[in-house]
């Protein structure tokens, strides 16, 4: 005979699930899913591109004193990661003004608004003034060919030789390749303000010489 009464099955006990036991696995699953979503950058499976900003950079060596109008072909616009972009970097070549470079540029260097000054003297630093002196070619063309821009200014007279200023920048001069060695030329120099008077006086006495720095 069956041990059940009236043909009914014995009642089944329902096992209760403790919510606290599910909390930790669910949290771990949620964190894993969130991390995976950030890694792949969304449902298309492609990584999110880094944020980039247009930035003007040099593509060649550019010497200090170069005019902004002469930078065509020496700089280009590249996309730079926002975190790597320097403060004050130019975003367009059109932002390059008519000033001159304060310091030289090397390939890959970002061009900043502060890279420019109004004129060559300002670009060379404070306390400098521009003067013009008349010199025979032999007094300047040799060192100019050798150094390009920087010279030491000497006074040579009956009292001997003495330095009036060092590391003086030649701002403007005729090309040394086309100058007659016997001719005189007007040379523009950026000199410390404190030495400007002495240099002008030495030039007036025909006692000024420029020597390669």
Model-level pTM?
A: 0.48
Question: What is the pLDDT, as a whole number, of residue 148?
Answer: 46
Give the CA diameter of the chain: 145
- Say if residues 140 and 151 touch (Cβ distance below 8 Å): yes
Cα four-point dihedral sign 114, 92, 73, 81: positive
Which regions in the chain score pLDDT beneath 50? 1-5, 14, 22, 31, 36, 39, 42-43, 145-148
Residue 100 parent element (H or E): strand 100-101
Residue 188 DSSP code: E
């Amino acid at each position: 005979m069956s041990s059940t009464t009236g043909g009914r099955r014995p009642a089944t006990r329902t096992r209760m699930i403790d919510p606290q036991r599910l909390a930790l696995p669910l949290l771990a699953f949620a964190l894993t899913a969130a991390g995976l979503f950030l890694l792949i950058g969304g449902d298309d499976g492609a990584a999110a591109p880094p944020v980039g900003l247009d930035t003007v950079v040099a593509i060649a060596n550019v010497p200090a004193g170069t005019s902004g109008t002469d930078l065509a072909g020496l700089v280009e616009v590249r996309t730079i990661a926002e975190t790597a972009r320097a403060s004050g970097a130019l975003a367009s070549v059109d932002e390059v003004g008519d000033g001159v470079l304060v310091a030289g540029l090397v390939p890959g260097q970002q061009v900043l608004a502060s890279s420019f000054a109004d004129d060559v003297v300002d670009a060379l630093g404070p306390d400098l003034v521009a003067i013009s002196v008349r010199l025979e070619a032999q007094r300047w063309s040799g060192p100019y060919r050798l150094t390009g821009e920087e010279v030491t200014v000497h006074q040579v007279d009956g009292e001997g030789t003495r330095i009036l200023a060092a590391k003086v920048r030649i701002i403007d001069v005729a090309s040394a390749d086309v100058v007659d060695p016997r001719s005189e030329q007007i040379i523009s120099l950026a000199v410390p303000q404190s030495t400007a008077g002495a240099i002008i006086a030495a030039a007036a006495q025909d006692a000024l010489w420029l020597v390669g720095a």
